[in-house]
Chains A and B, each alone.
Chain A
Amino acid sequence: MTATDPGVRRAPWWFTMLVVVLALSSGAPGRALEAAQGAVAPEESSPQYAQARSELAPLLPIHSEQLSAVTRYRLAILSSRAATQNDPALCAIVISAIELTPLLAEQLSQIQGRLLEQGDTQALDTFTAKIQKATTLLPGIGLVVGTEGVRSYVDYRQLAQLFRAGPVSRDLLQTMGEFSPAPLGWPVYLEPQTDLGGCSRPTALLDPVRRLGQSWQRGPACLKEVLEGEIVKSVSAATTSSCMCSTRTETSDGMHKLAAVLKTVGLAKAEAVTNSNVEHLPERRFECKAGN
């Protein structure tokens, strides 16, 4: 796959699944949007900006300020593809994606919640279709229209495919994509039992972390700094869940293994979190079935 032939076009299930990939920022974008802008500096007065905004406006039921942020993000992505790639630019886009996804998911979930309360199935279908169409314009952030809300995740694999960064960075991003794999974006450690959650299986993180180790040490510092925080979040969520899929012994053993692998890779913070959470295992439910 090449940079001019992104994966989003090659995978036909993107168009049939209710999986949404787009990017957005909130009205107060903060570090993320600044980073994206710093990478590509899109001009809001440019004809390209106007065209991008006019394409997105009919698709996203968000207010004007946020639509502007979405438009800037799209221009940032497009500009980055055309520009000479470098690690800082890539890091800036990744930071944007990490920070913007939950904000967009929260706003869209509120909109979906209102549609659900109104019981307007047709409006719900239209809402879903518009966002689905928007995914073809805004790759980078995963948004999934679920039954009760919009879930979000960073689609690292798409980012890896969109940028002509060095192979190490690309490998890191590809592997990061295994933590919450597309197209559904469920965390790999979370076994779905209901539409809102399920039980946690921390050992599901072993393989992604091992694969991460193959390129972690050689990765650019800015990217490692950003990704390590995300890895810690993922490991923390997996090991602090009150609902564990396995027995206590299996869970404990698995967490020890995970800690060892994290140590081998050099992810000291995540290792410390794992070891700490092993000590609190008695507070968990084992062989748990999430009661939603």
Chain B
Amino acid sequence: MKTRMKEYRARLGLTQEKLAEMVGVRRETIIFLEKGKYNPSLRLAYGIARALEAGIEDIFILDDDST
């Protein structure tokens, strides 16, 4: 799973800490999500998309290799 979280986060001027606080997770979770090393649940993915003011499919991109 690829993500564009970092890009959208930077666009809104949010820090990882702030985003983590907004969606109720740890900063480490945001770090591993941004690195594509953790696949979030649908609930968390929606929460992040909402916090980043974007659609879920804009933030999380499923690459063909991971299917």
A and B bind = no
By a beta-carbon cutoff of 8 Å, the part of chain A in contact with chain B is none
By a beta-carbon cutoff of 8 Å, the part of chain B in contact with chain A is none
